[in-house]
Amino acid sequence: MNKIEEIAQKRREAHQQLLSMKSKTYKAFLEMEKATYSDGALSKKVKELMAASISVVINCESCMEWHIRQAAKAGASAKEVLEAIEVGIEMGGGPATVSARFALDVMQDVFGSMPAG
């Protein structure tokens, strides 16, 4: 199992554990997440791209894995995801280039091939 699969598996396990424990806080978080990423003035795709960008800035690998995958499911292209990652690099400066390395690995896993320049 590679790092990306391991992160996704651990997230699924924690999700199930929190649900089985009937965590009111986690349930409220899931409701907030559902409301946040639903289409509104901004589409789900745009919101997921924003979250992918923020994930690079805060160096949250699990967030990158989730939001890049969700952006792709919402119709984002590899090029759109790359541009979101680039915004994260610009906003986060040098340290964000380190985070972006993992985001590129996730893109490879999700899209299979990388966009040409």
- Contact predicate 4/65, CB 8 Å: yes
Q: Domain range for residue 99? A: 3-111
Domain count, the chain: 1
For 88-114, write each residue's pLDDT tens digit: 999 999 999 999 999 999 999 999 977
Predicted pLDDT at 61? 96
Predicted pLDDT at 116? 76
Which residues of the chain fall short of a pLDDT of 70?
117
CATH of the domain at 54: 1.20.1290.10
Secondary structure of the chain: what % helix, strand, coil (to 5)? 80, 0, 20
Q: Is 117 part of any domain?
A: no
